[in-house]
Amino acid sequence: MNEFELIARLLPSLATNDSVVVAAGDDCAVLDLGVPGRLVLFKTDAVVEGIHFTADTPPEKIGHKALARCLSDIAAMAGQPNSALVTLALPKDFAVARVEKIYAGLNALAQRHGVAVVGGETTTSPERMLISIALLGTVAKDQCLLRSGAKPGDAIFVTGQLGGSLAGRHLDFEPRLAEARWLAEHFSIHALMDLSDGLAGDLRHLLQASRVGAELRAASIPISREAKTAGRGKFSAKPPLLAALTDGEDFELLFTLDAKSAVRLLDAWKKHFPDLPLACIGRITPEPGLRIRDERGVRELAVRGYEHFAAKKSE
């Protein structure tokens, strides 16, 4: 049973109340707590030694990544982060100086985005370090973006470049908070999410939530330099396109909007975010399933992204 099968099994039994606007299944929970004109976003995420970082990872980057993962999910709802709690699980022989440097990296990112770190919990973890962040944010009621709004005929866009994140980008990426809020303010975005488990996996979640299908254009998928570099030592030596589809931890924005607005969006984007590429990579279709078009024609896309509890990444 992989993580998504486990989640699907647990979801029907979750308790709820009248404040819940969107429960589990999107990038954040969305709550109506009576804040005038605003909805509350609630997110938790964890990084585990040996899974998300290694024992020799610079500690400042561990702290950065721990918070940045949650900030990326707030961005995926076009929200503004506000305050965080940190749960820190440490082995008994932990080094105090290393923990202080982890918090230095976490606090530096928090300060850049106006996030208050308001407490948390410390506990013992016998074998390895774990850091879990619970993050609150808000979003305007008329600008909260979900995964479930994609429509047939929509153009599919992605920011940045994909694949090869293990070469270092997974530790120091910048959450696309400003870009997502700009999109929500200036365009009618139909569906939005961030890319954490790979394009081939995460796009499927968007399609399932929206009850649509998609066709990707292989030539349009933006592939990072790291993914194009063959024989990357201890990193995956997948073909570049496969790396862009499946490597995961890109933390870029994936979104859809009416194809008639695509050119206007691309022109405006270049003016506001000249240093961040934006690519139209395909279209939403009424037929279910995920397909890819390349020089051989159109075929079903068989590969998937990263899945916890699976034996290995799908290839």
Phi, psi of 12 (to 5 degrees): -60, -20
Which amino acid, one-letter code, is at 213?
A: G
> Rounded to an integer, what is the distance from CA 185 to the centroid of its chain?
20
What pTM was computed for the model?
0.92
Which amino acid, one-letter code, is at 157?
A: F
pLDDT digits (tens, 9 = 90+) for 224-265: 999 998 544 455 578 999 999 999 999 999 999 999 999 999
pLDDT higher for 127 or 182? Answer: 182
Distances (CA, A) of 76 to 99, 102, 193, 309: 29, 25, 5, 25
pLDDT digits (tens, 9 = 90+) for 202-223: 999 999 999 999 999 999 999 9
Overall residue count recorded for the chain in this entry: 315
Q: How many CB atoms lie within 10 A of CB 94?
A: 15
pLDDT at 30: 98
* Spatial separation of the C-alpha atoms in residues 22 and 27, rounded to whole Å: 10
Q: Indicate the domain borders of the chain.
A: 3-140, 154-300
Tokens 């404040």 label which residue? 19
CB 79 within 8 A of CB 144: yes
Lowest mean pLDDT among 121-130, 158-167, 225-234, 299-308: 225-234
CATH 1.10.1660.10 fits 3-140, yes or no: no
Q: How many CB atoms lie within 10 A of CB 293?
A: 16
Output the CATH code of domain 154-300. 3.90.650.10
Residue 125 is given by DSSP the state: -
The confidence band for 308, taking pLDDT boundaries of 50, 70 and 90, is low
pLDDT digits (tens, 9 = 90+) for 60-98: 999 999 999 999 999 999 999 999 999 999 999 999 999
